[in-house]
């Protein structure tokens, strides 16, 4: 039986790097009264080419660190980690009776895209790990089995964006190459299946054309977080603005310098943390866990 979680605890958010700050930005805008703690696993960045087993292990280790910091809700702001580890995280949180709900970025973005498309042709740009997992195909089919999903793996785009300020011709050429199959498929809606991609959204819109609607997961996920907080009576009763803080497993100063571009707000201090391996292992009952994917 899950324990009762106090309202005044922070919401935990994690990603492999600074990309998840685009999600945190939406959370800060839509839920200004809440406290947040964001953990970036920059020491093991990028996640996009990792195996599902690795992503499960990393995610469970990070979840333990955030639960230790008494978060009331866990947001997986990484598409690759959501695709590989969300069911295991949800099952583990129930098994350990921590009383913490887990929300990922895949389902909110997929549902929003299905509601948006006019032609039933939706595109997805994502990391190789996310595409290979089939998580978006599953989520889109669950929302509407008549929608066709055209998936484009973009293996190098995340790293290029993270190291690309200011963006150069290599970024332009890479983005154009990944947009070509979506234009050929005549999709009218494109899901950005990586939290880094909103940083090149103007470029994407130009190359895909003005008639294509681009879907980022941040805003629909923030709405889902708000609904979960309300249904669980976990929303902060604070009238003013909450606080937000940052942790990373790699170079704290490098994360702070990069993060400003993604968050579009001041970051302040960033604390470096070590994530202990092996404290939480992937749940062995993954067959049951798969039924919990949201």
Q: Which active-site residues does the annotation give?
A: 78, 194
CA distance 283 to 125: 29
Cβ contacts of 1 within 8 Å, gap of 6 or more: 97
70 — alpha (psi -120 to 50), left (phi > 0) or beta?
left
Identify any residues that bridge with 244 across adjacent strands, giving them in sequence order. 36
Q: C-alpha angle 221/84/111, rounded to 5°?
A: 35
- How far is C-alpha 204 from the chain's CA centre? 19
Residues in the chain: 294
CA distance 224 to 199: 22
Query: Is residue 62 within 8 Å of 38, Cβ to Cβ?
Result: no
CA distance 204 to 125: 11
Pairing of strands 148-153, 121-126: parallel
Query: Is residue 44 within 8 Å of 73, Cβ to Cβ?
Result: no
Query: Is residue 149 within 8 Å of 138, Cβ to Cβ?
Result: no
Please state, in angstroms and as integers, the Cα–Cα distance from residue 73 to each residue in 2, 28, 29, 63, 100, following that order. Answer: 13, 15, 17, 10, 5
């Amino acid at each position: 039986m899950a324990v009762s979680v106090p309202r005044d605890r922070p919401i935990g958010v994690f990603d492999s790097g600074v990309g998840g700050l685009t999600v945190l930005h939406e959370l800060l805008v839509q839920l200004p009264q809440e406290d947040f703690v964001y953990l970036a696993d920059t020491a093991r960045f990028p996640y996009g080419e990792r195996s599902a087993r690795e992503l499960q292990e990393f995610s469970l280790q990070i979840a333990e660190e955030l639960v230790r910091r008494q978060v009331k809700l866990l947001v997986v702001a990484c598409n690759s980690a959501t695709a590989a580890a969300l069911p295991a995280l949800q099952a583990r949180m129930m098994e350990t009776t921590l009383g913490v709900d887990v929300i990922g970025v895949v389902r909110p973005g997929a549902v929003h895209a299905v509601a948006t498309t006019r032609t039933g042709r939706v595109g997805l740009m994502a990391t190789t790990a996310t595409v290979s997992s089939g998580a978006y195909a599953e989520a889109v089919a669950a929302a509407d089995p008549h929608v066709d999903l055209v998936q484009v793996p973009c293996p190098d785009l995340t790293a290029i964006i993270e190291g690309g300020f200011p963006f150069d011709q290599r970024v332009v050429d890479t983005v154009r190459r990944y947009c070509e199959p979506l234009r050929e498929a005549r999709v009218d809606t494109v899901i950005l299946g990586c939290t880094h991609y909103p940083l090149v959204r103007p470029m994407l819109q130009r190359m895909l054309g003005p008639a294509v609607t681009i879907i980022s997961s941040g805003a629909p996920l923030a709405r889902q977080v708000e609904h979960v907080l309300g249904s669980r009576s976990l929303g902060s009763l604070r009238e003013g603005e909450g606080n937000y803080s940052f942790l990373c497993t790699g170079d704290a100063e490098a994360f702070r310098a990069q993060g400003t571009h993604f968050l579009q707000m001041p970051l302040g201090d960033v604390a470096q943390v070590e994530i202990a391996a092996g404290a939480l292992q992937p749940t062995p009952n993954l067959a049951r866990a798969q039924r919990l994917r949201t």
